[in-house]
Amino acid sequence: MTHSNKLHPVLQQYKSFLLLVERRSSQTISTYMFCMEMFYAWLIENAPEFVDESTIKKVDIHSLSRYLIYRKTSGMEANTIAKDISALRSFGFFMEGKGLWDENPAALLERPNPGRILPAVWSVEEVDAFLETIDISSPLGIRDRALFELIYSCGLRISESCTIDLTDVHFEERLILVRGKGSKERIVPFGDEAIYWLKKWIFESRIELRPPPNEKALFLSRYGKRISRKGIWKRFKQVEIASGLHGKVHTLRHSFATHLLSGGADLRSVQELLGHSDIATTQIYTHVDAEDLKLYHKDFFPGHKKSK
């Protein structure tokens, strides 16, 4: 499926609606716009009669259902389809408000129930293997090592690691100021490895990228500007392939939480470190740990090795 670089006028208006009327976060706007551009690209290839601005109001529950079936059969996970539906519902609300749709057919869509999906977690040895795969012979390599060390050491989201400024890092206190979802701030400690690589990055390699004098971002792109989420994701994928491991940037965050709980940290403390507003979100990591315990029990407890 190919995307047009030119944004449909209605989608451009929808983006302005999200920003100015609903005052959605930049992350939500980015997610919703990506979902709607995917839907628009599908319309162009599969339902061209709906694409013209004057006839886009012909989109109905049947075309929406066809699109979601396409997404499902393309291998999209339930969480991804749930995001698609959220975006389509929001867009439908916008279209109904403009009078382009008599009603919002997307309101009839039911979000799939993904159930409790256990997050992928790496062992401590696998995290070490991933980090040691990074080529540290260049300033960008030092940056990558410091970046991923910090993400693992603090359990950061990828969006949080982009927004860290130099002034947020406090070496003497071994603390970092993190801006999480909803602009909520939290203080997170970081460990010796992160301190070592951060100092090497800040005091030796960062200047080699020639940032502007007023650039306050901790992590920079090769052009000396604040690194983007996409830039971090691309570097992660390259290291992931080289390491032979399989995961996402978020796998480092999942591993951070699981290793803490395995080491004896209490759930409430891990909740605070991760920046979860609801402890129920943090509890999923106790399920991961329980799965590990089942494996240990199976391997080392002889009483249940023989079938009845």
Enzyme catalytic residues? 157, 181, 250, 253, 276, 285
Dihedral (CA of 175, 285, 157, 87) sign: negative
Residue 133 three-state SS: helix
What letter would DSSP give residue 109? P
* 3-state SS track over the chain: CCCCCCCCHHHHHHHHHHHHHCCCCHHHHHHHHHHHHHHHHHHHHHCHHHCCCCCHHHCCHHHHHHHHHHHHHCCCCHHHHHHHHHHHHHHHHHHHHHCCCCCCHHHHCCCCCCCCCCCCCCCHHHHHHHHHHCCCCCHHHHHHHHHHHHHHHHCCCHHHHHHCEHHHEECCCCEEEEECHHHCEEEEECCHHHHHHHHHHHHHHHHHHCCCCCCCECCECCCCCECCHHHHHHHHHHHHHHHCCCCCHHHHHHHHHHHHHHCCCCHHHHHHHHCCCCHHHHCHHHHHHHHHHHHHHHHHCHHHCCCC
Residue 177 three-state SS: strand
Give all strands (DSSP E) within 180-281, no chain letters.
185-189
For the chain, the farthest-separated pair of C-alpha atoms sits apart, in whole angstroms, at: 72
CA 112/CA 220 separation, integer angstroms: 38
